[in-house]
Chains A and B, each alone.
Chain A
């Protein structure tokens, strides 16, 4: 019976590591389980870290839990013998070894990842105009609100939050192959801007302005998710994100300019009664005009 338990514990690292490797290398049935294919260089670096640390973790898991299973196998059926357990209280050399080696690994990890963090969150892209380096201006200002996304494209002046901004709701179209900066703000509560394919996530805090940047290498239609609980309709706070070629993008922008009057649209919330919305708290809601969702229970 004791052998049964040791096999049970031995199965933990075997199954755990097997499934991690399957997810990492795209083996069925876990081929699409982990992360979608990365769309950016910065995302690739994060993937390397993600996979690298997981491999390290798998190695440690194998080492420790295999030892546990083996100990149960080896020492688990001595119940009836007269043999006593070994009287060992400590082993200073061993203790030092298994403190120092993990410490070195962790120090290495800590320094190794700093560059990637800086690339994603700290080194905001700059442009050099007349020999003066300044931050690159955001192309779009994102206003998150319960429960949708407003996008204000910098108009002809190239600056957001001016009269010629172009307003689009729940759809973000961007050119692929260019470094793009977004400015994130919230109208009400905390939201979070998450694009799995770009390995990009940033909480949007009311009262603060955040900037994110990325460079998508392919034209692709993906989604923006809200990943910070923002109320009852949090689950449906999504927007489409389309990466298109520069030419398509310019054409699309012209289309939007024609559709919207060239003034800073300060969206006025439409009103709906509470009862109307209560009726709608079901999947059909996503079909209802997104602007209606501004009001909540």
Chain B
């Protein structure tokens, strides 16, 4: 390990010309850092695709049936650029699918998980580098299926990202491609999670006990466990729906239903079975989409407070109990689905319980800030933004965990507000903070602070302008192309137009980030090994780290949060430093 030289950053043992070296280094890479960056770049590209779809949804809600800019005349020449209701259904279906399965999960587990786990535990690479490569390459068939589905009739799957049968079973062929894509994504995540678990359990540097792991690694570890347990269920459900569509089985189809002018079905199935199986994965998926972000936010907040993370062990226990409880709360998506109403009571209790560990985390983050010597850098601002937005998302979660209240707000814009506060205003802010924080490690250069702060300020204002008013639309159903055909909803048009304008502003703001990202990659000031004066192992090696990661075998001597330790002069105390 010690003999790996710093310069040797390409795949060792590869000879040949520049092209083949490039292909073997960046395309068929087995280095966890290159794979992490592959995930990062593909997720960011999909982030913009998903964002465009969201803007199209907002366009329709603000100015229904008016000519859609740019794409309207390309796709709907015969109607003069106005979108069809089926196209609208495709928009929100694919927006959710892309954002969840191609952006947030891969960027958290795929990009940051891959990049950070070996560096933070002090390993030279993942336990199974080739499996790791496969896990990225299994994303591409999924990308292919989804891209292909955009060229099918109706321009893609349009049964909602939840794909409830019987509707989804009777959709066009794009739905089959959607199901296949989800199977591939699942396989990719499964390979990743096996790899993360093995690496974290087996390949920690000497002295790195489990309770010396940074919260980022804990977040990834628990997430990997959740994925490993929940994914098989989703995969089975996806294949069952696929066989309902292609092989005329009837897992999810009851008898005597007629859709599309009477398609005979074998019947004998249960419609609600899909919902149970789907949410058994997709509720844990909600935590899969936030626990790694919580871990990274904990590290960043502690670093810029120059103070130990408040209550490290309770933080670990609360992540663990969120994961455990996360498996027994799926029924709160189904309070009014027609499942046994008594069952709603037990799911309500478990859902309320999950508010406890989430609350503990928030209180501990505040405890970390309190009495610190705060450095309000861009990553820190994003992380404080994460905490305050997560409070809002968590509190609206308590509102809807009450089944009688859920009767009113289920499937309305209140739910849309809640999920965007958790997934966008929390997870995505956390991810952006993490990008600003680890960018110097990834590319060896600093990002521009001024642009970063403007990016944060505008994103923060516009996201609240977009999502906070959604709380007040608790009588406006989701997934409705033209809510204003209801007399009782006509007065909501101005509010919707305001939200759309904010959403467009939020979209444009991200261009600042793109400019900063690529500008800093080439022209940013050089970062050095440890630009933030942080404690964790990845900051002891050069930026960017070479293949093999460390020039010296790291020996871990203390926990990751010894900031402002009374026994040292400096306000940080790296994990490897001898006292």
Chain A residues engaging chain B, CB cutoff 8 angstroms: 1-2, 5, 8-9, 12, 15-16, 19-20, 23, 30, 32-36, 45-46, 49-50, 53-54, 56-57, 60-61, 64-65, 67-68, 71-72, 75-76, 78-79, 81, 83-91, 94-95, 98-99, 102-103, 106-107, 109-110, 113-114, 116-117, 120-122, 146, 186-190, 192, 194, 196, 199-208, 210, 222-223, 225-236, 238, 269, 271, 281-283, 286, 295-297
Contact = CB atoms under 8 A, between A and B. Distances in A.
Contact of A19 (B270, B373, B399, B468): B468
B387 A68 contact: yes
Scoring B360, B367, B473 by chain A CB atoms within 10 A of each residue's CB, the highest score goes to B367
Contacts of B479: 229, 234
Interface string B353-393: 10110011011101101111111100001001101100110
A173 B205 CA distance: 73
B18 interface: no
Given A53-B398, A86-B371, A110 B405 contact: no
Contacts of B67: none
A186 B565 CA distance: 66
A282 B79 contact: yes
Interface stretch (B121-129, B213-221, B222-230, B305-313): B305-313
A146 B89 CA distance: 15
B85 interface: yes
B407 A83 contact: no
Interface residues of B, number: 115
Contact of B338 (A49, A210, A296): A210
A235 B89 CA distance: 10
Given A60-B395, A202-B338, A190 B308 contact: no
Q: Determine the main DSSP class of A at the interface with B.
A: mixed
B307 A86 contact: yes
B388 A190 contact: no
Given A87-B566, A114-B345, A236-B482, A95 B271 contact: no
Contacts of A83: 373
Interface stretch (B250-258, B502-510, B535-543): B250-258
B374 A208 contact: no
A34 B384 contact: no
Contact of A64 (B160, B366, B464, B485): B366
B407 A201 contact: yes
Interface stretch (B44-52, B408-416, B519-527): B408-416
Interface of B: 64-65, 79, 82, 84-86, 88-89, 154, 158-160, 164, 166-167, 170, 254-255, 257-261, 270-272, 305-314, 336-338, 341-342, 344-345, 348-349, 352-353, 355-356, 359-360, 362-364, 366-367, 369-376, 381, 384-385, 387-388, 391-392, 395-396, 398-399, 402-405, 407-408, 410-412, 457, 460, 464, 468-469, 471-475, 477-483, 485-488, 491-492, 495, 561, 563-566, 571
A18 B314 CA distance: 33
B382 to A, nearest CB: 11
10 contacts: A5-B381, A68-B366, A75-B369, A76-B374, A76-B376, A84-B571, A187-B257, A231-B86, A231-B167, A234-B480
A72 B271 contact: no
